[in-house]
Structure 1
Amino acid sequence: MAAAEPERPPLPPFEAEEDALRKVKIAEQAWNTRDPVKVSLGYTPDSEWHVNGVTFAGREAIVKFLTDKWNGELDYRLEKTLWCFKGNRIAVVYRYEHHDASGQWFRAHGNEDWEFAPNGQMQRRITQINKVPIEEKDRMFKWDRETHYA
């Protein structure tokens, strides 16, 4: 028998805005580590992801997706903002910046819809990402990633 997954507070239902905001900031902080394994632990073992028309499920697939993502999205910096919440669901808007191996900078933005299991792990993530090239002088997220969340 598999061990029970640990609780990841705050837990649903999200009734107070402060709990939903905290959940969003916890996710933002985890993603800014760019550690695919650490990030994957915030999701149920069978978590379902829908990203720009691509669907996959499970932590192994999440780790592979994030590893591939961050191998190509260098100096990644992300900001998530709570849009709305109810019950076991939260919606966020987000922006992130990164550059590729050639040095071209990009800004991406989109929306995420999250659904949580009772233990606080995300069981479903639906997102659409729009990405545009930018000049380095137009970057918005210039904070030091290593100390920003210390």
Structure 2
Amino acid sequence: MTGPLVPPFTRETAIEKVRTAEDTWNTRDPETVSLAYTPDCHWRNRAEFVNGRDEIVAFLARKWSRELDYRLIKELWSFDGNRIAVRFAYECHDDSGNWYRSYGNENWEFDDQGIMRARYASINDLPITESERKYHWALGRRPDDHAGLSELGL
């Protein structure tokens, strides 16, 4: 890490902030993930509105009870001051074994301490076959040598 990941972001710190978020979400631990957000954080996730850490924890617990073997890759799209725009894709399956790749964009806004206070996510789901999967690392953090979104053609 180059130093504190607080605004205003440089290209280097924005990339680190995105990778830190990816790594945290890949823990699939709602309590841990919620700590990256201010206590009064506001989200729009698809058509659902989430406010505050308690609602974030409940939302993520629900999400990961349905989205099994979840693996996520995020990539920096743009940044300015205290805002970062990200594109991402994740793969998961449901309890019937149906696989999906979900693509999306997020807009993030941070407070002065580098804690996210707003997250706006737009997401589209694509059914895929198991053989079309591109994410094959063990659950948890994506290995440093695993290709990112651009390298995978996503």
TM beyond 0.5: yes
Mapped partners of 2:24, 2:141: distance in 1: 13
Provide the C-alpha distance between the structure 1 equivalents of 2:141 and 2:127, rounded to a whole number of angstroms: 26
Matched residue, 1:53 = 47
Q: 2:6 corresponds to which letter in structure 1?
A: L
Q: 1:109 to 1:147 in 2, by over 3 A?
A: closer
Structure 2 residue aligned with 1:115:
109
- Aligned residue in 2 for 1:20: 14
Distance across 1 between alignment mates of 2:38 and 2:114: 9
CA spacing shift, 1:10–1:86, aligned 2, 3 Å = same
Does residue 11 in structure 1 map to residue 6 in structure 2?
Answer: yes
Q: TM-score, normalised by structure 1?
A: 0.91
Deviations 1:69-124 (A, max 9, x none): 00000000000000000000000000000000001100000000000011111000
Check conservation: 1:111, 1:129, Cα contact below 8 A. yes
Match of 2:118 in 1: 124
Match of 1:93 in 2: 87
**Displaced runs of 4 or more, over 6 A:** none
Give yes or no for the alignment of 1:35 onto 2:29: yes
- Looking at structure 2, the residues matched to 101 and 65 of structure 1 have their Cα atoms a distance apart, in angstroms, of 18
- Residue by residue over 1:16-66, the C-alpha shift from the partner in whole angstroms, topping out at 9 and shown as x without a partner, is 211000000000000000000000000000000011122121000000000
CA distance in 2 between partners of 1:145 and 1:101 (Å): 17
Equivalences, count: 142
Partner Cα separation in structure 1 for residue 142 and residue 71 of structure 2: 10
Contact 1:29–1:149 (CA under 8 A) maintained in structure 2: no
Asked if structure 1 preserves the Cα contact closer than 8 Å seen for 2:27 and 2:141, the reply is no
SS class of match (1:98): strand
- Work out the CA distance in 1 between the residues paired with 2:133 and 2:100: 9
SS of residue paired to 2:6: coil
Output the CA distance in 2 between the equivalents of 1:27 and 1:147: 11
Quick one: percent identity of the two aligned structures? 51
Paired residue type of 2:69:
D
Question: How much does 1:147 deviate?
Answer: 6.2
Structure 1 residues without counterparts, runs of 5 or longer: 1-8
CA RMSD of aligned residues (A): 1.5
